[in-house]
Amino acid sequence: MSKYIKTLEQIEGIRKSCHEMAVIFDKLIPLVKPGLDIGDLESVACKLIAEVGGRPAFKGYKTHKSAVPFPSALCVSVNNEIVHGVAIPGRILYNGDIVGVDVGMELGGYYSDMARTLPVGEISPKAQKLLEVTERALYLGIDQMKAGNTLDDVGLAIQRFVEPNGFSVVRELVGHGVGLDVHEEPQVPHYGIKEAGLPNVRLQAGMVLALEPMVNEGDWHIKLGKDGFAFVTKDGKLSAHFENTVLITEEGPEILTM
């Protein structure tokens, strides 16, 4: 059996965590409007996670032992921030912004992970198209998450939709396995990987993967922001991010964060 395969008991635990996370996320979406203090969104998210007996998966997370722990439960990334924006009090959303909200939860030892990029008030037509293309790309990728397909099939479906629409797919940041930890193997790129020489894992029933295309208005290059947490577009243009946790089954992909 592949090291990536979850047991039926583990799948049920992950499914429950993901379901509760999706319910919480639906309660956060209406709060995103002009004038919102991001710290208030963080407070509500922490309260809702605690009410179901969960724990924020990102708060205190370290990428390695000597890393600074991530300081918030939410990753809230505004405009040219791609991912990992810190949800700090005093940061206000304004009309015309786009904001990526990424949240994970540990519930009973099982992890969920999901993200959406949301409009703040009235946004520009170009920003609206970016959101629509990124969300559609996520679901085109999920359509390819079938037992027997490969990570290259998934990434190509995303890339071949995004690029003809005039946008670019971030290369340096990827999706990942999830369920028993915040981040697990395999890494899941969102572009065709055969020519890049990356491991082209074949999908099998029982795998649980977080698919999360990050799409830039300009080119795909990124840099680390001044706070040391958020990644931003190198050219300063907008970026969008959508994510679901997905179970591979013999019958096809099951989106768990719905």
Dihedral class, residue 42 (left if φ above 0, else alpha if ψ from -120 to 50, else beta): alpha
Measured from the Cβ of residue 151, the count of other Cβ atoms closer than 10 Å reads 27
Q: Can you tell me the distance from the alpha carbon of 41 to that of 47, in angstroms, rounded to the nearest whole number?
A: 10
Binding residue ranges for substrate: 84, 183
Helix (H, G, I), strand (E, B) or coil at 177: strand
Tell me the one-letter amino acid at 43: S
Tell me the one-letter amino acid at 70: F
Task: Give the pair of three-digit tokens for residue 8.
Answer: 């039926």
Helix 8-28 crosses helix 38-51 at what angle (to 10 degrees)?
A: 140
Going by C-beta distance under 8 Å and a sequence separation of 6 or more, which residues neighbour residue 69? Answer: 59, 60, 61, 62
Binding residue ranges for a divalent metal cation: 102, 113, 176, 212, 243
Q: Can you tell me the distance from the alpha carbon of 47 to that of 52, in angstroms, rounded to the nearest whole number?
A: 9
Residue 103's H or E segment, with its range, is strand 98-107
Helix 125-143 crosses helix 151-162 at what angle (to 10 degrees)?
A: 160
Burial class, 116, CB count within 10 angstroms (exposed 0-12 / middle 13-18 / buried 19+): buried
The angle formed by the CA atoms of residues 21, 24 and 25, to the nearest 5 degrees, is: 85
Binding residue ranges: 84, 102, 113, 176, 183, 212, 243
